[in-house]
């Protein structure tokens, strides 16, 4: 590039290193240039008017006629232009145009004013000097946001004007030249300082805007973290309840129905325990994908935590439509999940869904959520793997549980609670080896309440540990009067097993009794263990360290019983009564029981079969190698006073049987005589 081109680029070219600074300059100039044009045109018209009588018409009229429409049009274009819509290149182009126009207008003004100087008198000549100074100062001030244009005006108008008056023979014009240079010089100095400050201002604004954008991004991320689940990117619990309260406010006046749903994956905890959290996370992610594919945009699905999901359906159809929709979800999640890095490659789970409808099930967010959760729990207990809508039946059950909970809190539990015992028989010896302690509650108002109902109510109301302490104390008091070879089994709930305080309380009761720990067998269910495996295992180990034994109750009904047999320190398996119901007619059931019998033999565990009621069931079980039996065939649950009589009768039968057997055996002389007859 030649020196000439470098100079031209230096004077006219606009730097592109900071586009936002160029845009800010052009915004400021778009407001100031119309004012500059007004100053220039007023000065030009004024000077043309003063010289109208002295100078030729073409000199006084031509320039105003040419410049007036140009400046007006330019001003209108600048005022109406949408600067934000212009790209950076367009901004640079318009700034260059201002530089070019500064040369043209400045050149025309200086040539025109010097040309008019020779016309008129001393007053008109003095006004020419005033015109140059005032125009230079006004234009430079208006163009101070664009240094190049301002310096062009200073170089083209102020400097030549000062030189013109400086070489005059009149001292007054020499002084005017000095004044013009001083005034313009000060303005130029101020302009440079202002330009630096303006540049810093814009740069600071850019930094603030950058920080603002960063804050907006951070706020958006925080909002996302606050309202979205990080694993599945579904709305989280916070967002779910916000949306639930929002839709509730919309529907509370119109009473237009909407539905709240709760979804829970069946067997998910066991998958985490067996395969690790990475596999569990993958199932949760795949579950969210399947749910998104099933749901419309107006249906909200949220992950509430763990394997629980919440659903809000703002415009539901009929109750049957909702049930069908829930069952569709259940079917979709029953399809195998493909897992990378696993030998079999797939995992099968299921889900259960509970729904509650506004306003029939409740008119508050908390009540609707609780009712949907209750429907979910009810479905898990009665129809796992399907959808259930909260109904009047559930409302009645809730009232019953609430009534029972109220009477439990008001009851004299030491007086009203009692225990009964069901014998467990070894069919090889036909003798009782253990009795299971079973809870009973006789309330003056409610009468005898089924154990499954009041135990569940006690768990829900937080009273189960109190009941356990009373029942265990009564059990030990009875056991102390039994023969020392008879053991007792006692059931522990989930809340007992996972509470260190409850386990310590049980240990204290046992240590203050006269019953050795070796005679106590604690029965735990697979469900209790699954609730919190680590804490359950800790409680089990505390009891075993004392000398107690552990039995796994309801074996065969859980999701992965074999895994818990492998990891739990147990001595007994109690085979659920569901296996004995159709043992006489179902060969598959018999094959399963035969396998369980082999399992117990190989793992050196005692296998106890519950619910045996007929001689045919007993014969089949003993043929399969299962000889420890519990059920109505031998005895119903017995009150405390009935246990000793049962044991005494059993002992008497055994002694009579032994006596009969002894009498049936021939003496030695008869035996010798018979042998001699055979030899002959």
Digit-coded pLDDT (tens) for 485-503 = 999 999 999 889 888 899 9
State whether 187 and 268 are in the same domain.
Answer: no
State whether 183 and 277 are in the same domain.
Answer: no
State whether 460 and 589 are in the same domain.
Answer: yes
**Which pLDDT value is given to residue 675?**
42
Mean pLDDT: which of 5-9, 158-162, 626-630, 657-661 is highest?
626-630
- The C-alpha atoms of residue 251 and residue 356 are separated, in whole angstroms, by 15
Of 195, 210, 225, at which residue does a domain stop?
210
**Which one has a higher pLDDT value, 477 or 10?**
477
**Percent of the chain whose predicted confidence (pLDDT) is above 70:** 93
Which of 302-311, 540-549, 577-586 comes out lowest in average pLDDT? 577-586
**Which pLDDT value is given to residue 424?**
96
Q: Per-residue pLDDT averaged across 200-222, rounded?
A: 83
**Which pLDDT value is given to residue 665?**
53
Q: 408, 454 in Cβ contact below 8 A?
A: yes
Closest C-alpha among 29, 33, 132 to residue 83: 29
Give Rg (Cα) of the chain: 49
**Which pLDDT value is given to residue 5?**
64
Q: What residues form DSSP beta bridges with 521?
A: 489, 549
Mean pLDDT: which of 26-35, 201-210, 333-342 is highest?
26-35
- The C-alpha atoms of residue 294 and residue 299 are separated, in whole angstroms, by 10
pLDDT tens digits along 67-105: 889 889 988 888 888 888 888 888 888 888 888 888 888
Q: What residues make up the domain containing 81?
A: 3-210
CB burial string 222-258: b at 16+ within 10 A, e below: eeeeebbbeebebbbeebbbbbbeebbeebeeeeebb
* 345 pLDDT above the threshold of 90: no
The verdict on whether omega for the bond into residue 470 sits within 30 degrees of 0, i.e. cis, is no
Closest C-alpha among 288, 264, 292, 270 to residue 347: 270
State whether 360 and 419 are in the same domain.
Answer: no
State whether 421 and 564 are in the same domain.
Answer: yes
Of 151, 175, 210, at which residue does a domain stop?
210
State whether 427 and 571 are in the same domain.
Answer: yes
- The C-alpha atoms of residue 57 and residue 52 are separated, in whole angstroms, by 7
Residues with Cβ within 8 Å of 553's Cβ and at least 6 positions away in sequence, in order, are 491, 523, 524, 525, 526, 574
- Name the DSSP class of 488: E
**Which pLDDT value is given to residue 421?**
97
**Which pLDDT value is given to residue 349?**
87
pLDDT tens digits along 592-623: 999 999 989 888 999 999 999 999 999 999 99
- The C-alpha atoms of residue 537 and residue 566 are separated, in whole angstroms, by 12
Asked, for residue 217, whether it belongs to a domain, the answer is no
pLDDT tens digits along 451-473: 988 998 888 788 999 999 999 99
142 — phi, psi (to 5°)?
Answer: -70, -25
Q: 376, 262 in Cβ contact below 8 A?
A: yes
* 676 pLDDT above the threshold of 60: no
Q: Per-residue pLDDT averaged across 178-189, rounded?
A: 87
118 burial (CB, 10 Å; 0-12 / 13-18 / 19+) is: exposed
State whether 113 and 56 are in the same domain.
Answer: yes
- The C-alpha atoms of residue 577 and residue 554 are separated, in whole angstroms, by 8
Of 390, 422, 451, at which residue does a domain stop?
390
Asked, for residue 383, whether it belongs to a domain, the answer is yes
pLDDT tens digits along 380-432: 877 888 899 998 888 777 777 778 888 899 999 999 999 999 999 999 999 99
**Helix H or strand E encompassing 265:** strand 258-266
Q: Per-residue pLDDT averaged across 643-661, rounded?
A: 83
* 9 pLDDT above the threshold of 90: no
- The C-alpha atoms of residue 373 and residue 390 are separated, in whole angstroms, by 9
State whether 501 and 626 are in the same domain.
Answer: yes
**Which pLDDT value is given to residue 121?**
86
Asked, for residue 659, whether it belongs to a domain, the answer is no
Q: Per-residue pLDDT averaged across 569-588, rounded?
A: 89
Closest C-alpha among 559, 562, 565 to residue 266: 559
**Which pLDDT value is given to residue 669?**
52
Which of 313-327, 349-363, 550-564, 575-589 comes out lowest in average pLDDT? 550-564
Mean pLDDT of the chain: 87
595 — phi, psi (to 5°)?
Answer: -65, -40
| Residue where the block lists tokens 């045919």 | 616
State whether 338 and 430 are in the same domain.
Answer: no
Q: How confident is the model at residue 136 (pLDDT cuts 50, 70, 90)?
A: confident
**Which pLDDT value is given to residue 567?**
76
State whether 65 and 177 are in the same domain.
Answer: yes
Q: How confident is the model at residue 176 (pLDDT cuts 50, 70, 90)?
A: confident
State whether 355 and 308 are in the same domain.
Answer: yes
Asked, for residue 474, whether it belongs to a domain, the answer is yes
Q: Per-residue pLDDT averaged across 633-656, rounded?
A: 91
Asked, for residue 669, whether it belongs to a domain, the answer is no
Q: Per-residue pLDDT averaged across 540-558, rounded?
A: 88
**Which pLDDT value is given to residue 660?**
65
Asked, for residue 663, whether it belongs to a domain, the answer is no
Mean pLDDT: which of 111-125, 344-358, 484-498 is highest?
484-498
Closest C-alpha among 204, 201, 202, 189 to residue 151: 189
pTM listed for this prediction: 0.55
* 342 pLDDT above the threshold of 80: no
Q: 162, 180 in Cβ contact below 8 A?
A: yes
Render 147-179 in DSSP notation, one character per residue. HHHHHHHIIIIIHHHHHHHHTSS-HHHHHHHHH
Q: Which two tokens stand for residue 519?
A: 């005679």
* 671 pLDDT above the threshold of 60: no
* 661 pLDDT above the threshold of 80: no
Q: 223, 343 in Cβ contact below 8 A?
A: no
Number of domain units in the chain: 3
State whether 492 and 374 are in the same domain.
Answer: no
């Amino acid at each position: 590039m030649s020196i000439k081109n470098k100079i031209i680029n230096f004077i006219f070219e606009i730097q592109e290193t900071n586009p936002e600074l160029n845009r800010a300059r052009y915004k400021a100039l778009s407001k100031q240039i119309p004012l500059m044009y007004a100053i220039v045109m007023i000065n030009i018209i004024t000077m043309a008017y003063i010289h109208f009588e002295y100078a030729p018409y073409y000199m006084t009229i031509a320039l105003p006629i040419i410049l007036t429409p140009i400046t007006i049009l330019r001003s209108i274009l600048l005022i109406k232009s949408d600067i934000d819509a212009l790209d950076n290149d367009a901004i640079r182009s318009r700034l260059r145009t201002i530089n070019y126009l500064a040369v043209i207008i400045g050149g025309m003004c200086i040539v025109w004013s010097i040309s008019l100087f020779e016309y008129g008198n001393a007053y008109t000549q003095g006004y020419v000097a005033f015109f140059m100074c005032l125009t230079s100062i006004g234009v430079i001030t208006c163009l101070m946001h664009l240094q190049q244009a301002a310096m062009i005006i200073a170089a083209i108008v102020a400097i030549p004007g000062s030189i013109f008056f400086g070489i005059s023979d009149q001292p007054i014009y020499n002084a005017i030249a000095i004044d013009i240079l001083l005034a313009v010089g000060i303005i130029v100095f101020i302009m440079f300082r202002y330009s630096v400050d303006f540049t810093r201002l814009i740069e600071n604004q850019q930094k603030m805007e950058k920080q603002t954008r960063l804050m907006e991004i951070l706020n958006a991320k925080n909002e996302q973290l606050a309202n979205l689940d990080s694993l599945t990117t579904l709305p989280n619990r916070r967002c779910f309840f916000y949306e639930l309260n929002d839709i509730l406010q919309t529907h509370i006046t119109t009473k237009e129905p909407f539905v709240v749903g709760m979804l829970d994956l069946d067997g998910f905890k066991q998958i985490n325990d067996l395969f690790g959290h990475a596999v569990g996370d993958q199932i949760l992610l795949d579950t969210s994908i399947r749910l998104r594919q099933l749901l419309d945009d107006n249906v909200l699905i949220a992950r509430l935590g763990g394997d629980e999901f919440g659903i809000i359906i703002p415009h539901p159809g009929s109750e049957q439509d909702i049930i069908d929709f829930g069952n569709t979800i259940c079917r979709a999640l029953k399809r195998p999940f493909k897992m990378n890095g696993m030998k079999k490659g797939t995992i099968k789970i299921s889900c259960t869904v509970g729904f509650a409808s506004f306003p029939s099930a409740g008119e508050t967010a908390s009540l609707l959520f609780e009712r949907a959760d209750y429907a979910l729990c009810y479905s898990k207990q009665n129809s796992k793997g399907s959808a259930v809508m909260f109904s009047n039946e559930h409302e009645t059950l809730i009232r019953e549980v609430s009534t029972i909970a109220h009477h439990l809190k008001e009851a004299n539990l030491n007086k009203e609670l009692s225990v009964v015992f069901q014998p467990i028989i070894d069919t090889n010896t036909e003798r009782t080896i253990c009795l299971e302690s079973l809870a009973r509650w006789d309330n003056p108002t409610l009468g005898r309440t089924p154990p499954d109902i009041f135990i569940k109510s006690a768990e829900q109301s937080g009273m189960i540990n109190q009941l356990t302490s009373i029942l265990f104390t009564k059990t030990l008091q009875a056991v102390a009067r039994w023969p020392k070879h008879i053991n007792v089994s006692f059931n522990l709930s989930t809340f007992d097993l996972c509470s260190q305080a409850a386990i310590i309380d049980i240990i204290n009761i046992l240590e203050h009794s006269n019953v050795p720990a070796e005679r106590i067998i604690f029965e735990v269910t697979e469900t209790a263990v699954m609730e919190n495996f680590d804490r359950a295992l800790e409680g089990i180990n505390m009891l075993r360290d004392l000398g107690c034994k552990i039995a796994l109750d309801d074996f065969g009904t859980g999701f992965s019983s074999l895994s818990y047999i492998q990891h739990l320190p147990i001595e007994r398996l109690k085979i659920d009564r569901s296996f004995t119901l159709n043992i006489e007619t179902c060969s598959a059931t018999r094959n399963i029981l035969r396998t369980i019998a082999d399992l117990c033999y190989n793992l050196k565990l005692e296998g106890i079969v519950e619910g045996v009621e007929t001689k045919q069931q007993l014969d089949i079980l003993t043929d399969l190698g299962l000889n420890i039996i519990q059920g109505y065939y031998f005895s119903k649950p017995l009150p405390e006073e009935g246990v000793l009589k049962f044991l005494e009768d059993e002992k008497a039968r055994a002694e009579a049987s032994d006596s009969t057997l002894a009498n049936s055996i021939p003496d030695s002389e008869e035996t010798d005589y018979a042998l001699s007859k055979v030899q002959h």
